[in-house]
């Protein structure tokens, strides 16, 4: 491992064991977050507040009327080795139209 990699890793808190909080501190912090979420949930008055919004991409069966409409965009397959000037089809079409108008 290079020296640069070691110094970069040592500066990141989640990666290096040097800056990582102790296991007990992480456990306490996680419990505090869970407790705060539990308190927030218990303070909700309306049952509708408990419902999470439906995810568009889920494996759950849903009524077709309730499903969000998905707009499918058709993209032409382009080979990644194609030169940049060949990929500008709209620009080439404009040039061809201009050439046709001159002739």
With respect to residue 28, please indicate whether it lies within any of the assigned structural domains.
Answer: yes
Instruction: Classify residue 82: in a domain, yes or no.
Output: no
Which pLDDT does position 91 carry in this prediction? Answer: 81
Nearest-Å Rg of the Cα atoms of the chain is: 28
Out of 7-11, 24-28, 49-53, pick the least confident.
Answer: 49-53
The pTM score is: 0.33
CB 12 within 8 A of CB 6: no
Q: Is 10 inside any structural domain? A: yes
Q: Which residue has the higher pLDDT, 36 or 11?
A: 36
Question: Residue 16 belongs to what domain range?
Answer: 1-51
Mean pLDDT computed over every residue of the chain:
77
Sign (positive/negative) of CA torsion 88, 89, 92, 98? negative
Tokens of 93: 């079409």
Q: How many domains does the chain have?
A: 1
Q: Please indicate, yes or no, if residue 34 is contained in any of the structural domains.
A: yes
Greater confidence (102 vs 60) lies with 102
């Amino acid at each position: 491992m290079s020296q640069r990699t070691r110094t970069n890793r040592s500066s990141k808190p989640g990666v290096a064991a040097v800056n990582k909080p102790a296991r007990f501190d992480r456990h306490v912090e996680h419990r505090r977050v869970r407790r705060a979420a539990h308190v927030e949930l218990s303070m909700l008055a309306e049952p509708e507040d408990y419902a999470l919004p439906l995810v568009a991409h889920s494996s759950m069966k849903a009524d077709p009327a309730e499903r969000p409409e998905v707009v499918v965009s058709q993209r032409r397959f382009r080979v990644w080795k194609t030169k940049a000037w060949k990929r500008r089809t709209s620009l080439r079409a404009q040039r061809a139209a201009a050439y046709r108008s001159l002739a």
